[in-house]
Structure 1
Amino acid sequence: MSAAADRWAALPGPTKVLAAARELLENGKTGPGVTVRITLDAVERDQVGRILGMSWEASTAPVTLGRLRKALHGLNDTLEDLLVRLGGPLDDRVAKRELDRQAAQDHLDNAYAILTSAGIPEHAVALARTRRWLEHTNPDLADSRAQALALLWQHLPAADRPLPELANSLFGNPHHLDRDADLGRLAARLLAAAHTTEPGAAAAAAGTALSADVWRQVWASAGVSCDEVSATVLVLNLPLAGSGAAAAIAAAAAETGEPVWLTARSLRHAWEPGPGLHTVRVCENPVVVETAAARLGPHALPLICVYGRPSIAAWLLLDGLAAAGVRLLMTCDRDTAGQQFLTELLRLPGAVEWLAAADGVYEESRLPALLADLAPAPPEVLDPVPKSG
């Protein structure tokens, strides 16, 4: 302890230097070459120079921890002792940060362990951990999010329960699993990842899980319905058979050649291609259906309109037809969006482009060719059998 050092430390310039030095030491920066970064005016530099020496004061050299220690040693004192006398014990902020980091890591480990214990596949949990889903935006919520997801998992697969009803029964809020809700987005990604086995496929599935149509598919795979009356597909003269609502609706409309919208809900129940249904044409824009209905009525060949990007209803219908061996003739607008839709549609088994050689970017410009192809072929006229003499 040095009274001279204490008197020096009370001056404004040294006060600045020592405060900055404390900050450095508490953050583990203790080497002799460490610079104490402070701004001193001429008076303050003169005050600091009273122990660092005239040569330092006259120079432009910075204050370093090594210079401070050497100067205080000359006063029979140490930098650490002086700082303790002035401001109390030095905090070990490095150790504290490490403890905090380890505590946070343990907290996250426990949160992800909750998911595994709930029966969520390990590869899906591993993806969630890699993407930091539980701690996203707020690590403090990781545990509560994990608990909520575990509770949800215990009630899946559901027995065709509407998503709002399931959310309300589990969390007291019908919107808790909505697509724009934190838990809903987490759950959809986990469900999508869980339904695959390849890590790469799991990441890709989770990456698309929040698009409107995939969202419905993901929840449907777990027995949960998502507003399936708003997902629709337009059909004309499409003969479907079976006990489901879609078959009855399509059959009734086909009798009069009236276009009709089928919902995803109606297509969830038993249906199959009607007898003799081997080929179906598929377009993007309702104007093709509307014009075909007006000009050809019940005589138009079977036609489906996906109306832009195919909805879950469109995929349910097209997947079912393709699986039954129905040939699908596809066309869309030939702009960027339309070609993206067409590329997706042509991945279906047995799907080929409809009238690929017809000119025109938009379906409206190809409408005459499309309508001509939708008209049924005239019945074959047989030569009369000559009468015998």
Structure 2
Amino acid sequence: MTRTNWESLPGTNKAMAAARTRIENGDTGDRVRLDLDLTDQDRADLGRRLGMDWELSGKPVTLGRLRAAFAQTGAVLEQVLTTRGGPLQNLPAQRAQQRAARTASVEAAYQILADAGIAEPVVTLARQRRWLGKPDVDDIAGRARDTAALWAALPAGGRRLSELADHLYDDPHALDRDRDLGRITARILAASDAPQADGDTGRANAAANALAAAEWRQTWAAHEVLCDEVSATVLVLGLRLTGQASAAALAATAAHHGEPVWLTARSLRGRWTPADPATTIRVCENPAIVEAAADELGAACPPLVCVYGRPSTAAWTLLHGLADAGVRLLISTDRDIAGLGFAKAMLKIPGALAWLPDAAGLYEETRLHDLLSDLRATK
């Protein structure tokens, strides 16, 4: 049988295809085994060159045996593979080049953030967490340029998020919370705003929390971007404010009638101040406390603020504004994991203290009698 005929047999074709795969992947030694699923006929085909002893032995085909088979006819395996299937590729070298190109593209993308003025620790965190995405899948350079454009536009001077997005990207939804760019930029802003003393852990936690609704609004608000202000609310009872902000008129009217009222972040825009900066204002977590206080004390209830779970942008605006005016804040929350987290954050407000910390009860509702007694004694 001629060499050409032997090369065209199914068993030989399988061996040559497997040989190309191994050689192109850098496995070139004579002892390299070929991964083959051979039928009896395939082994018979190969046995015509590899010998009957090999055919009957059940041993695998190696590159060395295949090279020897071609050498019998004066041919070189690699030359035959090149003639039949084109030049042999150096896949390890190609993969190394691709990795180098990906690394260079990643370096360039995150350098765009650094050149925009974003702090080095934040850029490093963004790269470690791959906030810009994957270079093989996502346009990380484009995302970096879009992020840099936003950074240059901040603080936004009270522009709405959708307006800012439309101005920068011709898409009012580009910075929405469910869009990649919105999530990237919110993480970077939150990490940049985290206290330096909290280090990398603080920056990472701030970035992770930035995508929750309340923190999302607060993150953008810190850079003078308005974000869905009517959805951010805080409940008050007996709170009297003065000033031009609409919250002042709303709170004063509700206090006069002894009715709880929800104030929005929008209503707290503008100038306002507590009517009596020397007063003490109690802060609770659950609306049930406010309802009970309204039912029992009505218009005689001392000022009471309810954050309703995790404090919203409106709640933070109100609490910080009150504290800045000199008001003394007393803080109460549930004492489960979530409530303790809310309390810890609010107790960082200058001058804030715990409200009845010695009263027993995991939840505020179980401490309702004590809380109402304190309000009653203060009216």
TM normalised by structure 1 equals: 0.88
Gaps of 5+ in 1: 379-389
Q: Please report how far the alpha carbon of residue 60 of structure 1 lies from its aligned counterpart in structure 2 after TM superposition.
A: 2.2
Aligned residue in 1 for 2:149: 151
RMSD over aligned Cα atoms: 2.4
Tell me, in whole angstroms, the C-alpha distance in 1 between the residues paired with 2:213 and 2:202.
19
Aligned residue in 2 for 1:170: 168
3-state secondary structure, aligned to 1:265: coil
Q: Please report how far the alpha carbon of residue 265 of structure 1 lies from its aligned counterpart in structure 2 after TM superposition.
A: 2.6
Confirm or deny that 1:121 pairs with 2:119: yes
Q: Please report how far the alpha carbon of residue 377 of structure 1 lies from its aligned counterpart in structure 2 after TM superposition.
A: 4.8
Q: Please report how far the alpha carbon of residue 310 of structure 1 lies from its aligned counterpart in structure 2 after TM superposition.
A: 1.6
Q: Which moved more, 1:17-26 or 1:344-353?
A: 344-353
Q: Which moved more, 1:169-178 or 1:362-371?
A: 362-371
Q: Which moved more, 1:182-191 or 1:233-242?
A: 233-242
Aligned residue in 1 for 2:204: 203
Confirm or deny that 1:20 pairs with 2:18: yes
1:123-156 superposed Cα distances (whole Å, 9 cap, x missing partner) = 3222222222223486441122122222222321
Confirm or deny that 1:36 pairs with 2:37: no
2:272 partner letter: W
Counterpart contact for 1:239–1:277, Cα < 8 Å: no
3-state secondary structure, aligned to 1:329: strand
TM normalised by structure 2 equals: 0.90
Counterpart contact for 2:278–2:326, Cα < 8 Å: no
3-state secondary structure, aligned to 1:6: helix
1:298-339 superposed Cα distances (whole Å, 9 cap, x missing partner) = 211111111122212112222333444533322233445434
Counterpart contact for 1:5–1:77, Cα < 8 Å: no
Q: Which moved more, 1:367-376 or 1:218-227?
A: 367-376
2:47 partner letter: G
Cα pair distance change 1:292/1:225, threshold 3 Å: same
1:125 partner letter: V
Q: Give the number of the structure whose alpha-carbon radius of gyration is greater.
A: 1
Confirm or deny that 1:232 pairs with 2:230: no
Aligned residue in 2 for 1:11: 9
Counterpart contact for 2:302–2:378, Cα < 8 Å: no
1:267-314 superposed Cα distances (whole Å, 9 cap, x missing partner) = 343333332533221222222212222221221111111112221211
Cα pair distance change 1:130/1:284, threshold 3 Å: same
Aligned residue in 1 for 2:187: 189
Q: Please report how far the alpha carbon of residue 233 of structure 1 lies from its aligned counterpart in structure 2 after TM superposition.
A: 0.6
Q: What is the count of residue pairs matched by the alignment?
A: 376
Aligned residue in 2 for 1:341: 342
Q: Please report how far the alpha carbon of residue 48 of structure 1 lies from its aligned counterpart in structure 2 after TM superposition.
A: 0.8
Cα pair distance change 1:71/1:138, threshold 3 Å: closer
3-state secondary structure, aligned to 2:37: coil
1:269 partner letter: G
Gaps of 5+ in 2: none
Tell me, in whole angstroms, the C-alpha distance in 1 between the residues paired with 2:363 and 2:204.
35
Confirm or deny that 1:212 pairs with 2:213: yes
Aligned residue in 1 for 2:177: 179
Aligned residue in 2 for 1:112: 110
1:219-264 superposed Cα distances (whole Å, 9 cap, x missing partner) = 1121101011211111111233444333343233323322222212
Q: Percent identity between the aligned chains? A: 52
2:5 partner letter: R
Q: Please report how far the alpha carbon of residue 38 of structure 1 lies from its aligned counterpart in structure 2 after TM superposition.
A: 0.5
Counterpart contact for 1:301–1:376, Cα < 8 Å: no
Confirm or deny that 1:250 pairs with 2:251: yes
Q: Please report how far the alpha carbon of residue 340 of structure 1 lies from its aligned counterpart in structure 2 after TM superposition.
A: 3.8
1:333-360 superposed Cα distances (whole Å, 9 cap, x missing partner) = 3445434433443444444433344444
Q: Which moved more, 1:176-185 or 1:207-216?
A: 207-216
Aligned residue in 2 for 1:285: 286
